[in-house]
Amino acid sequence: MAWIRDWRGGRRLVLATVAAGLAGVGLGAWAVQPSRAGGADAPSKDRAVSDKVWVTADELRDRFTPEQSHGFMRRAIANSRKAGVEKRTGGAFGAVIVDGSGEIVGEGSNHVVANHDPTWHGEMEAIRNACGKLKVLKLDGCVLYTSSEPCPMCLATAYWAGLDGIVYGATVADSKAYGGFDDDFIYEQFATPIAERKIPELNLLRDEAVDVWKEYAALKDNVAY
């Protein structure tokens, strides 16, 4: 199998930066949000995603035979063709989720244009379908095969879903050259201080919002994810 460069090469970011960038737009006291940090009395709870035992690139590479991996990738590519060329539902992006036994448990293709939904990426649909089929919130033991390197949203979702790894076909340079898709700007925004980002973020009614979180924290049946 032709394994090309370290995943995301020089474009890799610390996950904490990506997570902070995707944490959502704050609407605080009509003042620029100074920090994502909680107050001094905020309880410290590690997110469940941090407890995952991550696999190495070598372990990911050796999980399936080359023939198996080629088959999974060709299925993802077929889904990309369906989206971008045949049904014209969106860009030429497709994906599949494969469990540890080598079974495809989720598939997806891009439907951004057809459904007027900027979040309907192939990877997002595949992850939703896999979680729905398996009735789980985490896809531990599963691998995402995607026809192109994932965008920042899909990358963050892969972490939230606890996937073991990502295998991609076309690079971000390819999707930019032939489709005009360029997510470099978004990564640059993640690395930019909040007050300097292009989309302004304000903080509004924090105390009232935190009151709900305190009620939530007091519940005994919360599901960590």
The CATH number for 192's domain is 3.40.140.10
pLDDT digits (tens, 9 = 90+) for 34-74: 444 445 454 444 455 667 889 999 999 999 999 999 999 99
For residue 51, the model assigns a pLDDT of: 76
Is residue 223 domain-resident? no
Active site residue 107: no
pTM: 0.80
Q: Which of 123, 149, 188, 208 is catalytic?
A: 123
Is residue 225 domain-resident? no
Q: Would you say the C-alpha torsion 130, 156, 199, 35 has a positive or negative sign?
A: positive
Domain that holds residue 68: 9-218
State the DSSP H helix or E strand holding residue 143, giving kind and residue range, or none if neither.
Answer: strand 143-148
pLDDT digits (tens, 9 = 90+) for 107-151: 999 999 999 999 999 999 999 999 999 999 999 999 999 999 999
Is residue 1 domain-resident? no
Is residue 28 domain-resident? yes
Is residue 2 domain-resident? no
For residue 41, the model assigns a pLDDT of: 52
3-class secondary structure, 180: coil
Phi, psi dihedral angles at 37 (to 5 degrees): -70, 145
**Nearest to residue 108, comparing CAs of 91, 94, 128, 90?**
94
Is residue 224 domain-resident? no
For residue 76, the model assigns a pLDDT of: 99
Which residues lie closer than 8 Å to 221 by C-beta, 6 or more apart? none
Per the CB < 8 A criterion, the answer to whether 148 and 121 are in contact is no
Per the CB < 8 A criterion, the answer to whether 64 and 169 are in contact is no
Return the number of other C-beta atoms located less than 10 Å from residue 27's C-beta: 14
Per the CB < 8 A criterion, the answer to whether 96 and 72 are in contact is yes
Is residue 60 domain-resident? yes
Is residue 201 domain-resident? yes
For residue 225, the model assigns a pLDDT of: 83
The amino acid that residue 158 corresponds to is A
Euclidean distance between CA atoms 121 and 92, whole angstroms: 10
Number of domains in the chain: 1
Per the CB < 8 A criterion, the answer to whether 153 and 21 are in contact is no
